[in-house]
């Protein structure tokens, strides 16, 4: 099933002729323009005045109101800085926690011999049947009786124990070269030492892929923060944005600036880590 590089090259050259090159690039170009329209709208509106956004005639370019940025963060009614901070804390801790807990478990299930390891694995598999979003009511019942409503704990901890991420790590570690660990054991390292000194440093690509995906889904999560964040001080960026849509008490240009600011970090993460992300998705088929 492996296609070697020269074969691929050949294939591509041959298939270049299906559509004429011009037609091909025209089609891709138009599709790309359509895909970029929403980004254009965010940037245009974020740097415009309200009058320009709602004006009768379409303005192609904004008047570049850079002051909108400071206006957004100075506005006390919006508290967008607070929401950004909350989202950062939640997404970062969630990523670190998920990687730690799920990778350890995945490694244990894949590589440590234990009589009942298969039974434990089936317990994990069983949780994959039902998406966590469907069970948000029971989760909320539990978290609220723990008194974790409006806290970071409530936002982060219930999301750490992803059966799916654990499963992915297990699959990955099953394919990890055994020789490396055996060498470590000859050197007298136990499972724990071999894991941290040999396995993790040699698996950084995979960790980066899972980290990117976890970070993006933590940052973009909506339903759970909506349920947990009852008080505005515990709102994440997504909840703040949502309140703008439903209340419409804030000015247009601030709303769009807030949207731009909320998307920007992710676009950077995305562009810089795309290689690992693409690899990770292709390997695992998971969704961000």
Partner 1 sequence: MSTTTTRGVAQPAPAKASQARPRRGLRSNATLNFWLFTGPFLIGLVIFVFVPIGWSIWLSFFDARYTVTPSNFVGFDNYRQILTNSNFPDSLLTFTIFAAFIVPTTWALSLGLALLVNQLRFMRAFFRSVFFLPTAVSYVAAALIWKMSLFTGVRFGLANTVLGWFGVDNIAYLSNPSPPWYWVVLVSLRLWIQSGFYMILFLAALQNIPAELYEAAEIDGAKRGWQTFWYITLPQLRATSTAVILLLLIAAYQAFDEFYNLITTKATWAQTPLMELYKAALGTNQDYGAGSAGAVILSLLICIVTLAQGKIMGFGRGEEAK
Which residues 116-145 are close enough to bind partner 1 by CB under 8 A? Answer: 117-118, 120-121, 123-125, 127-142, 144-145
| Minimum CB distance to partner 1 smaller for 92 or for 101 | 101
Piece in contact with partner 1 (CB under 8 A), picked from 65-73, 75-83, 169-177, 202-210: 169-177
Write out the two tokens for 105: 């478990």
| Minimum CB distance to partner 1 smaller for 128 or for 204 | 128
| Minimum CB distance to partner 1 smaller for 11 or for 197 | 11
Distant-in-sequence, close-in-space partners of 125: CB < 8 Å, separation ≥ 6 = 163, 167
Binds partner 1 by CB under 8 A, chosen from 5, 22, 35, 247:
35
- Are the C-beta atoms of 98 and 132 separated by less than 8 Å? no
267 is a contact residue toward partner 1 (CB under 8 A): yes
Binds partner 1 by CB under 8 A, chosen from 80, 107, 206, 235:
107
Q: Which segments of the chain does DSSP mark as H helices, in order?
A: 5-15, 21-46, 50-53, 67-74, 80-111, 117-126, 136-145, 152-156, 163-174, 178-186, 191-194, 204-220, 223-228, 237-247, 252-284
End-to-end CA distance of the chain: 28
201 is a contact residue toward partner 1 (CB under 8 A): no
Distance in angstroms (rounded) separating the CA atoms of residues 202 and 204: 6
Binds partner 1 by CB under 8 A, chosen from 7, 63, 70, 202:
7
- Are the C-beta atoms of 59 and 48 separated by less than 8 Å? yes
- Are the C-beta atoms of 203 and 283 separated by less than 8 Å? no
Conformational region of residue 199, where left means phi above 0, alpha means psi within -120 to 50, and beta covers everything else: alpha
Binds partner 1 by CB under 8 A, chosen from 89, 157, 200, 208:
157
Longest pairwise C-alpha distance within the chain: 76
The CA dihedral of 39, 42, 45, 46, to the nearest 10 degrees, is: -120
Piece in contact with partner 1 (CB under 8 A), picked from 61-69, 75-83, 199-207, 263-271: 263-271
Binds partner 1 by CB under 8 A, chosen from 20, 36, 81, 204:
36
Q: Is the dihedral of CA 162, 167, 117, 134 positive or negative?
A: positive
Count the site residues for partner 1 by CB under 8 A. 122
Binds partner 1 by CB under 8 A, chosen from 77, 179, 249, 287:
287
63 is a contact residue toward partner 1 (CB under 8 A): no
Binding flags for partner 1, 203-222, as an x/- string (CB under 8 A) = -------------x--xx-x
Question: CB 66 → partner 1: shortest distance, Å?
Answer: 20
53 is a contact residue toward partner 1 (CB under 8 A): yes
180 is a contact residue toward partner 1 (CB under 8 A): no
Distance in angstroms (rounded) separating the CA atoms of residues 29 and 169: 38
166 is a contact residue toward partner 1 (CB under 8 A): yes
Question: CB 277 → partner 1: shortest distance, Å?
Answer: 8
183 is a contact residue toward partner 1 (CB under 8 A): no
Binds partner 1 by CB under 8 A, chosen from 20, 64, 85, 112:
112
């Amino acid at each position: 099933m492996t296609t070697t590089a020269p074969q691929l090259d050949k294939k591509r050259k041959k298939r270049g002729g299906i559509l004429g090159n011009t037609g091909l690039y025209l089609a891709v170009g138009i599709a790309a323009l359509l895909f970029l329209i929403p980004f254009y709208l965010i940037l245009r509106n974020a740097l415009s005045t309200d009058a320009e956004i709602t004006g009768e005639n379409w303005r192609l370019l904004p008047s570049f109101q850079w002051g909108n940025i400071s206006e957004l963060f100075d506005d006390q009614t919006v508290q967008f800085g607070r929401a950004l901070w909350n989202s950062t804390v939640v997404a970062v801790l969630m990523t670190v926690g998920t990687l730690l807990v799920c990778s350890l478990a995945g490694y244990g299930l894949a590589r440590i011999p234990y009589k009942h390891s298969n039974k434990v694995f089936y317990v994990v598999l069983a949780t994959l049947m039902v998406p966590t979003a469907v069970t948000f009511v029971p989760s909320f019942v539990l978290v609220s009786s723990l008194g974790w409503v409006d806290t970071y704990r409530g936002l982060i901890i219930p999301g750490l124990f992803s059966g799916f991420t654990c499963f992915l790590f297990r699959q990955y570690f099953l394919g990890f070269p055994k020789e490396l660990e055996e060498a470590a054991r000859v050197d007298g390292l136990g499972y724990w030492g071999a894991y941290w000194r040999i396995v993790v440093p040699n698996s950084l690509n995979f960790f980066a892929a899972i980290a990117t995906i976890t970070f993006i889904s933590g940052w973009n999560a909506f339903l759970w923060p909506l349920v947990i964040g009852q008080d505005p001080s515990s709102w994440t960026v997504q909840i703040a944005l949502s309140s703008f849509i439903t209340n419409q008490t804030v000015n247009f240009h601030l709303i769009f600036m807030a949207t731009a600011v909320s998307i920007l970090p992710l676009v950077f993460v995305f562009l810089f880590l795309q290689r690992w992300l693409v690899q990770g998705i292709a390997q695992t088929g998971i969704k961000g």
